[in-house]
Structure 1
Amino acid sequence: MVGRWVVILAGFLLNLMLGIVYAWSVFVKPLTQVFGWSVTVASLPYSIFLLVFAFLMPLAGKAQDRAGPRKVAMLGGALLGVGFLLSGFIEVIRSPYWLVLTYGVIAGAGCGLGYACPIPVARKWFPERPGLATGLVVMGFGLSALLFAPIERMLIKAYGVGSTFHILGAVLLIVAVLAASMLRNPPEGYVSRSPEQKVTVAKSTEAKPEGIARRDLTSSEMVRDVRFYILWLSFFFMALAGLMVIGHIAPYAQEQGIDPLAAAFAVSALSALNALGRPGAGAISDRIGRAKTMFMLFLVQAITLIAFPHVAVSLATLYICAAIIGFNFGANFSLFPTATGDLFGIKHLGANYGLVFTSYGVGGLVGPIMAGYIFDVTGRYDLAFLAAGVLAFIAAFLSLTLRRRR
């Protein structure tokens, strides 16, 4: 039988490949300079990737619930690599719609299929620490830009945009499919042998006023529960804010006069804390509860976003603000899937979290395009950060309604 830590490692590695989308902002300036596109147009493939990724999640979740994670994740890894390889022909075709199709639709579909699998698997292998286990596998997704952003910057400078896509596509195809092949569900009747399980579960249950699901709800039952819509809206607001920053932080930094390579490392700083926020927030929420953790981190995110264009004007303050935003954004990806399992059960978690995750796709469509449009019209990002901060405040107070519900 595959050991449960091998499964965690496989999920982490798969997510490390899937999360390359978070390094997209490195491509924005080269695309505008080489092809003469506006920032809004250069943001479109990224937004479509996120939309397709998220809206394929419910179908991918159902598929992995029924067929198991291995086949679904391997197909996802293959599509991700092929999408990047095809994107490499952009210097021949020279149309933003080619990247929308290859990067946005094909690679985005691969990401949705791959991402749907490790989260339910991790939760099933670690019933005593669901927040931490989920955080560890999705940590790879957040860490991805730390690895890929400087690599992409160096590859673009040395070989150009098209060849960079080709090189990345080959790496993604091999590593993602290999990692996906190691995913397995635990056997029927599996119970963790951890000596801490009973104590941990007891503490976790006491810490969460929102409670553990008394029974497993199907997707059709979940959508009739008001808590689903609270989760959906909260995730939408937080995803919009975080994805807006991820998609524009490199060009924002360059507008402040920061060197392009140093700007790429701002993406890496955000990515590093994005990665740490996933297991970090998951472990915290296992102890003090999902709703309380959500409120605290969402409130800090709101304050940071509103202050960002006034504070992040030097390299040091840019890195500090990017790190705070990254940690709080990463927290979403352990808090929301574990909250979904807490509230609605784990039997149908793949499909149920897939529906909650559609909010991420809508946020990914709206946030980056909104910021690009505001910049194209005003020449500044100030209003975009203000809007994102206000929405994060709303998400913080929505989370309190989960805590009050008994």
Structure 2
Amino acid sequence: MTAAMFMSSNNNSTANLHHEASAQPTKRANFFVRALLRHFGDAEYVRTPEQIQRERTFFGFEFKPWFIVPFCVLTQFCCGSMYSWSIYNQPIDQLIYGDPQADMAPTTFYITVGSFGFTSAILGPWLERNAPRLSLSIGTTLFFLGNLITALGLHLRLIALVYIGYGLVGGAGIGSSYVVTVSVVTKWFPSSRGFASGMAVCGFGAGSIAFAKIPPTFMNIIGLARTFAIMGTVYFVVMMLCAQVMRLPPPGHNINGLIIDSARTNPKNPDHPYETEVVDDRPTIRISLIQALTSRDFWLLYFVFMANQLFGLVVISRLSNMTQSLFRINANTAATIVSIDGGFNLFGRIFFATISDLIGRKVTFGLMLGAQCIVLGFFPGTIEHHTEWAYLLISWVGTSCYGGGFSVIPAFLSDMFGPNNISACHGLILTAWSIAAIGGGVLFTTLYDYHTAQNLSPSAVYASNIWWIFGVACGGFFLIFFIRSLLRDRLFPAVPGQIFRLRIFGRTVRAVRANGFTIEILTREQEDNEWEEYLMLCIIKLRLVKNETYAQAPF
């Protein structure tokens, strides 16, 4: 009997054998270690048959997958208001300090970003274990309370309450709501996760554009404090209504033969070198959350995502100031450029997410990072030579890649580690975004201040500050080749003396130190034979364990 036959009949057994490697709390472990392992243990939302039956309908109609999309987009639209924080900076500084250039209010945004990322990481497993309706309701309530506390802080003219309200509490609410909606929409559309997550997160980008225009009108009429109270109430009502629609697909839900409650991943096209894995309707090898979060591939993807986001977070957030300083244009023209930049952000979220369903997530990330490496290499030259059209083109390409990374990463994680682990994995990887925003922003500002003190021209100051971002992008592009996006590659056994193994253009290449240093390029047949031998060994080991357990059982 071949391993392929074993695979079709005993995949669940192999899955269980692999699953035993997951870390579990033990009685000997420290209390905090046990709590940590329990929190990040297998995350699965268990529903009663009655709950499942109730969620099959929506106001008397059969619930369709596409029902979920507009409500996820609307939730993300409200969350995207955080990107418009810059419009509040000068009014808040003027209100509290009497100086619009006090530069204290911008700190709120960095606190919000940090709270967003780290709350998503901490609450990710909990969100996965509970109903999405409850999770989104809690996130909405936190966002509402954050706006109310901010309004109180502005009324009392205490910047600390603004930091706590919008920064800590509001950021936690935005992060929770963001992760829940992305997790839900990717589970409803297993055959087009990239496009589905792209549509959802494009609402986040659209919110940043819309809410940059709406609040100023309220501020001029009713003041800052009341603006936050009213806007917070609007967010609360809209997001609470959206929460009532949130639900997970019923067990066994499938679209075109693809089942969502499966962690199994297989290539769509075996001949494609980097084709993204998709779930199918065969028995599966499940990956526990602990296995996912402790895998080498997760942390490689973590740094790749951070590298992809850095340019957008650090440079594009300063686009208006940079453009006015370098090319001496007025504020209205700069605002128009920033609005166009927001359009490219939306375009990147939809475009790269959609093509990732066709060419694979790994290839898509390679394209985005490769494009950033190329344009960043030319960026200092365009700044120093004051080539405005090239400067804008590079900025907009970078923004498109930034938006694309946000939309592709949920589908990438779901493909690699299974839809049941998406909330926790996505929440943790968003801390890379927070670190890039805070750490990158501090480093950029420090270097900017240092070079400015040297009496360098604005073009020289900005040009010299680009090179470290270019280096990080190149590092991310290099690391993408070491991510084993296919489940088969991650489980493929190492041979004695193996140093490393890569998949290049669909072929497995490995370096082996045995009787000298050699590079081996496996044929399809060699790879299949080694994989089948591995599966057979797994099944034999599992049967031996089961037989031993059966023999020792008391009767």
1:212 equivalent in alignment to 2:273: no
Q: 1:367 to 1:150 in 2, by over 3 A?
A: farther
Q: Deviations over 1:43-71 (max 9, x none)?
A: 32111111111111134322232112111
SS at match of 2:198: helix
SS at match of 2:245: coil
Maintained 8 Å contact 1:243/1:363: yes
CA distance in 2, matches of 1:81, 1:317: 42
- The Cα shift of 1:153 comes to 5.0
Q: Deviations over 1:151-178 (max 9, x none)?
A: 3455556666545434432332222222
The equivalent residue for 1:364 is 437
CA distance in 2, matches of 1:160, 1:27: 11
Within the candidate set 246, 249, 252, 2:322 is matched to: 252
Within the candidate set 47, 63, 74, 2:110 is matched to: 47
Within the candidate set 368, 389, 396, 2:470 is matched to: 389
CA distance in 1, matches of 2:414, 2:273: 13
Within the candidate set 99, 114, 128, 2:177 is matched to: 114
Give the TM-score taking structure 2 as reference length. Answer: 0.65
Within the candidate set 318, 343, 349, 1:272 is matched to: 343
1:25 equivalent in alignment to 2:86: yes
Maintained 8 Å contact 2:275/2:359: no
1:327 equivalent in alignment to 2:388: no
1:339 equivalent in alignment to 2:400: no
CA distance in 1, matches of 2:378, 2:232: 37
Maintained 8 Å contact 1:25/1:246: no
Q: Aligned ranges for residues 130-209 of structure 1 at < 5 Å?
A: 130-152=193-215, 155=218, 161-192=224-255, 203=268, 207=272, 209=274
Maintained 8 Å contact 1:243/1:364: yes
CA distance in 1, matches of 2:174, 2:361: 26
Maintained 8 Å contact 2:119/2:172: yes
Maintained 8 Å contact 2:140/2:240: yes
CA distance in 2, matches of 1:205, 1:107: 45
Residue identity opposite 2:228 in structure 1: F
Maintained 8 Å contact 2:143/2:173: yes
CA distance in 2, matches of 1:155, 1:258: 28
SS at match of 1:348: helix
Maintained 8 Å contact 1:152/1:164: yes
The equivalent residue for 2:481 is 400
Q: Deviations over 1:115-145 (max 9, x none)?
A: 1112221121111111111111111112221
CA distance in 2, matches of 1:361, 1:269: 24
1:5 equivalent in alignment to 2:76: no
Identity %: 26
SS at match of 1:45: helix
Residue identity opposite 1:269 in structure 2: I
CA distance in 1, matches of 2:73, 2:65: 12
Residue identity opposite 1:212 in structure 2: E
What is the RMSD computed on CA atoms of the aligned residues?
3.2
Q: Which has the higher contact order (CA 8 A, sep 6+)?
A: 1
Q: 1:205 to 1:179 in 2, by over 3 A?
A: farther
Maintained 8 Å contact 1:40/1:373: no
CA distance in 2, matches of 1:377, 1:371: 10
Residue identity opposite 1:387 in structure 2: W
Residue identity opposite 1:354 in structure 2: G
The equivalent residue for 1:83 is 146
- The Cα shift of 1:262 comes to 4.0
Segments of 5+ residues of structure 2 without an aligned counterpart are 1-56, 58-62, 261-265, 279-283, 453-457, 485-501, 509-555
Q: 1:286 to 1:58 in 2, by over 3 A?
A: same
Farther-moved stretch of structure 1 (149-158 vs 112-121): 149-158
- The Cα shift of 1:95 comes to 4.4
1:70 equivalent in alignment to 2:141: no
- The Cα shift of 1:342 comes to 1.9
Q: 1:221 to 1:70 in 2, by over 3 A?
A: same
The equivalent residue for 2:307 is 237
SS at match of 2:420: coil
CA distance in 1, matches of 2:394, 2:122: 36
- The Cα shift of 1:114 comes to 0.2
Q: 1:73 to 1:208 in 2, by over 3 A?
A: farther
Q: Deviations over 1:252-275 (max 9, x none)?
A: 344454444443444432322222
Maintained 8 Å contact 2:65/2:188: yes
Maintained 8 Å contact 2:276/2:357: no
Q: 1:52 to 1:210 in 2, by over 3 A?
A: farther
Residue identity opposite 1:221 in structure 2: Q
- The Cα shift of 1:205 comes to 6.4
Residue identity opposite 1:58 in structure 2: A
CA distance in 1, matches of 2:427, 2:333: 36
CA distance in 1, matches of 2:229, 2:219: 11
Maintained 8 Å contact 2:267/2:276: no
Residue identity opposite 2:242 in structure 1: A
Maintained 8 Å contact 1:91/1:162: yes
Q: 1:270 to 1:49 in 2, by over 3 A?
A: same
Alignment length, in residue pairs?
Answer: 402
CA distance in 2, matches of 1:176, 1:299: 37
The equivalent residue for 1:129 is 192
Q: Deviations over 1:274-299 (max 9, x none)?
A: 22222211221121122221111112
CA distance in 1, matches of 2:445, 2:90: 12
Question: Is the helix fraction higher in 1 or 2?
Answer: 1
Question: Is the strand fraction higher in 1 or 2?
Answer: 2
Segments of 5+ residues of structure 1 without an aligned counterpart are none
SS at match of 2:233: helix
The equivalent residue for 1:281 is 352
Maintained 8 Å contact 1:84/1:102: yes
Maintained 8 Å contact 1:60/1:116: no
